[in-house]
Structure 1
């Protein structure tokens, strides 16, 4: 904002309804510190109306809301032109042309009401980026000179149009276009006509003023008569009120005398009562002092007992805390021992579990071997039964019997081990199983061909061995 007084540009404080970034709008001054802003381009036509107030350092913007279809309101536009029209009915804003709207509107700034002006030719309304100038020909007639601009075909316009805007007596407006070749004649006719009408209007106004004064005089006279009557009535009411006040004053005086007498009697009674009250108060104070002395003595005894009790409680608390600490230490030690024992027990349990699994695996392996050896022994027995039994002789062991079947062993017998030996018939053999102290001498020719010998080591049970068996 440029401040002419100090000849400098400033950035004012803006308050109110700030419009968005906009161009091609009109800002028309109304007074020294107010203006009207209308229309502009923000990407499309804009028909917002703002009332702007200026100070030296600030700008206050007030948007005039559009009530909608209930009232007349111009369409959005940009590139239009506006001028201020001043008449006896107040300031008005005249808006002509613009894009994309091609019409003329008049705004009553005080009432903020729009009115569309019709019956204007297209060469006046269908242009934008043009200029407007207003000339107040008479108090009721304004000529608006319109020049230049563009039309929708982007061709520049160089012609001039003169719009006549007249304010009629019935608060209405009329419009017309003044041809340029009739400019002077129409100007002279309009001036003479308007001033004659103005003189007639003034005479009529004087008569109307006199008539109004007469009516006002009669009204004031009637009002004066009413006021006189009202004042008389008020005076009568005041006289009645004064009489009532005199009567009430006499009554109050009598009541005051009676009250004074009663007050004097009350003062006498008060003195007597005060003496009696003072005597009673002295006796009561003496009793209270005596009771206070007794209370102080009891309080002293209680205080001494309380101090002794505090010492005793302190000793008990100290003993309690010591014993509590000992118990806590014992519990902590016990927890430590229990934790160590739990770990040891867990370790033993793990070892026992591992040993149990190993024993179970050994038993399973032994049972599998037992079944296999039993199968071999059974097959051997079957082969022996099919062949004639030969007598064998040995230095260490001689027998001519068959090994009994494994099925005939009782449950107390445990198979300690099993082993398989191979005998060749063309030579002698010495079979030894040192783990169980077993030895078998097989001379040459004891078997006719290669033979498998299965040996089972048994433990437990009762056995009968043949004669000649060397153990």
Structure 2
């Protein structure tokens, strides 16, 4: 039944070509259109909000100043299209696209009116392509795809006005419809950003895109999820809402009855007025009518109040549902995170158990292998001792057997291992016994301690066997020629019996000859007798050594054995006068005499007479070698004819020369000073000092109250490094470094104030020596009689495990200077 409702507020004027859209159950919005002013159609930009009840329409005109948006006021327009869009967390908003302005010009824009239900009106523009917004007299529909996604479907319309020539110079206007298949139907995807509630354009699809596979897949995905969330958004009335609805329906029924009564009374009153019959009954009826009218107004007011309360309740219920949904989502996320943390903890615990088990197995395996290694070392040592004993006994028996023919070539020699037992005040790194068997060439490799021994073919008879006893020495009471520095370990070599050909000794040195072959001229081999009447052992240089620039080994061929080492000349003496030259010649002659003495005292000799017997009061061994050489056969290191001299006369000369040399010997030059006799001659370094290589070794030892770190520096020689490793056999080896000193008085210093890449909270690093500095002279003294230990700096590392902030593992970097 159609009724004529009552109008409250400012109603809109007679308008056409406008848009009207529904906001909610009883509210709507009207925008734009054309009104008639002074007989002409004028386009407007008026905005009206209306509210419809049973018999009343409440109008509200939105004033110009009440619309915010940075001063944006929509232009006057008509023939446009509009639609209402809704989001899960935003109020309804009006979208307006296209239209014609007051100048009959096409409007190419899209406007968004939001907050239209709250009274806080806001207008903003949404950027769309001209192919979408540039049209009028078209249709616009909003399809809600998801709580935060809306599709705007635009269909048809006109793209402008053209002119058609009808003849006679007369043109008529005509509209231009949109015929492009890609523009006839277009879809705009709007997405609401939850953070600010802003609507933005996600994509624009033309007519050609609607048939693409990508669009079909996207539509299928939205269709599958849309049914589910639509059910979630569906509101089911509560008991109180149903009761309110029933009460409202009852009031509406009463209002309808009252309205019917009002109509009846009005008809009766009209009839009474027409008949002009006024009596008490009619007056009572009039009073009753007034009462009914008052009751009707009261019922209307009560209904309006109930409607407002119902809307408030609905808003509260929607807010509570949103709040509950957010809480449930947060709870779900927390439970998911908790489950992930529990899984990670279980995985970490499992990995820790596996690591502990592997560590336990490795420790057990290490202990077993350590015990096996210890047992094997014990067995090897016992076997070596037993083998040496057997060889010694065999040699003694062989000596007894061959006494009848020994005078043909060589004197009697005691087993080689006994020859080296007379060494005194020396630091032994390692002893080794080698066997030479047969007439084949052989190589005895002892590079672990810096020595190689080469045997030429036919050095023995095929059935012969000779012992070679070698001792690697890292220090002792040694005295080397002036202006020299020791650049190798010292080796004592002895044979059980002489060979037919010379042996080739290859000894490791620490001078880097790479790219500097001229330095090899300043490297010399130095020898000293194994047995000496008094310490220290006096070394003298010999000629004939070979030093290759691409090798760290020097080689020399020897037939007579003693203490052997390599030394380097430190400085070049300046020959300014003939006197200086004569002094150098005298020094060279003195060195040659010393070499002859050493070779003579350690030569392997034989005798054709009975003069090989020891003098009264002497014992076999070292004295026998120096005092019983009759008929010595000596051959120079570089070749030549054998020299035969009377043994006793040669010994006499050696003793006289030794005494004179001892009286004129020059003491070794300390690292911090140079003797005045030599200082006047020094003008330039040979380069040996600057090219000596050194090694820095780091060892870690665990103590109860601290962890101890030891940094040790020594010459880069295998024998010295192996000797140091044995001293720290229970420690863990750290990072090793190789370095050189810049000059003779150089040093190297550890710095503990370097910036650290990793934190060391809870740890304390304390060096025992401050500054932690190594002087070159101190490093070079290792091995001298008064310096049996290498230069070492101890560093204590303390940790505080009881402190909660202490890091588990310490990584600390030290700097270097010098």
For this structure pair, what is the TM-score category when the shorter chain's length is used for normalisation?
A: 0.3 to 0.5
Decide which structure has greater strand share: 2
Q: Who wins on radius of gyration, i.e. which is larger? A: 1
Normalising by structure 2, what TM-score? 0.23
Decide which structure has greater helix share: 1
Normalising by structure 1, what TM-score? 0.39
